[in-house]
Amino acid sequence: MSKNICVVGLGYIGLPTAVMFANHGYQVHGVDINEKAVSMIQNKQLHIEENGLQERLITAVDNGKFTASTTPVEADIYIIAVPSPINSDKTANLDYVRAATKSIVPFVKPGNLVILESTVPPRTVEDVMMPVLEETGLKFGEELFISHSPERVIPGRVFEELVNNDRIVGGIDEKSSQMTKELYETFVKGTIHITDATTAEMVKVIENTYRDVNIAFANELAKISDKVGVNAWEAIKLANYHPRVNIHLPGPGVGGHCIAVDPWFLVELQPDLAKMINLARTTNDSMPQYTAEKTKKILDEKQIGHGRVAIFGLAFKSNIDDMRESPSVDVVKNLEKLGLDYTAYDPHIKENKLPTQTQEMEEAVNHADIILILTDHNEFKTLDPKTVASKVRTKMIFDTKNCIDREVWEAAGFEVKVLGDSKNGIQA
């Protein structure tokens, strides 16, 4: 194995992918425009949190198999794994994909394979990447091979899922697909399914849109349950015992680089047809405001006029440091609009991202009237209420993730409220 790989984008997907290939025999060079991130990687330090990444990075660098810089180099294979966020008007921002593709043009040579891993709207390979790659002067399918193979992993379990999950490969032609399939067979144990590039793009967007619609359904059930005296969590659990039912769980909103973003790609492409998708997105985007208003209502019911909120959790998902599209940020904005004082704490976010964020849990709960759990980190699930009981001003907790042991907290004198559970007294 003598082929070299250049990975453009060293974030939550690109870096794990790069070290994975480096530790499976390839010579890999990683590229990122973030100079601080590159410097940290060069010194075997992480700028992101992912289980198993630190030791794999150290191995790759120490073995001389992985290097990093801010500019691409000549390689046999280019993997583009850059963000594809949405603009303020909910349209796809493909500037990073376009810029990353353009950055490799001077280095691409005959026989190269270019793979896009970023999650993108259908036709991005054909309408965005290929026009840029035409600048190489190479003939597609004969001198230059191109494909889309979207990542299919979840933060916190990236390496396990890189290996075991099935993978979709969509080339612009059969040879592009086969070259890509052979590359990922280096470590993928799941089945690799071959299709065309546009279908592969569509598949990834479909997967995340399905989950978004399912979560929106769960959030609607939570709102209804708040009205009618039901515990939505209990009802969903019992409904899921049906062999053909699999309802997701409600929460304060949907975050992350995929589920909160990708459905908008379909809405943008076909707004007149994507009505259910649009409604689901709107429903999930409304949950931070609903959560903030519910928090204020709880305080109002206790006649606490200017309550202080201790926010637990800023990451969009448990046990990671990723705040991309996190609903917690929107909850904070809505709390501010409602005039509520707050302090935010997240044990996984090591640098303060908000003006009122603290690195000390004791500071967050000091004189708090309510603890608002927005992320179900293990640290919160296992937290002994006695450690915060003497710090808070009012023993009250609003758990939007249904992650704490209610009996334990109630035994410590806390009044526990749970999103979507009016069975125990939290009604709209």
Residue 204 is among the residues annotated as catalytic for this protein: yes
Can you say how many angstroms the Cα of residue 281 is from the centroid of all Cα atoms in its chain?
15
Q: Is 392 helix (H, G, I), strand (E, B) or coil?
A: coil
Cα distances (Å, whole numbers) of residue 315 to 271, 323, 403? 30, 4, 15
The catalytic position among 181, 204, 223, 401 is 204
247 near 239, Cβ under 8 Å?
A: yes
> Half-sphere exposure (CA, 13 Å, Cβ side) for 27?
9
254 closest CA partner among 205, 219, 294: 219
- Our answer to whether residue 258 is catalytic in this structure is yes
List C-alpha distances in Å: 26 to 3, 5, 186.
Answer: 6, 7, 10
In angstroms and rounded to an integer, the radius of gyration of the C-alpha atoms of the chain is: 23
Give the tokens for residue 107.
Answer: 């280095």
Annotated catalytic residue: which of 6, 223, 258, 296? 258
Q: Which amino acid is at 103?
A: S
**Which ranges of 270-423 does DSSP label H, i.e. alpha helix?**
275-285, 287-301, 327-337, 361-365, 378-381, 386-389, 406-411
Residues acting as catalytic residues: 204, 258
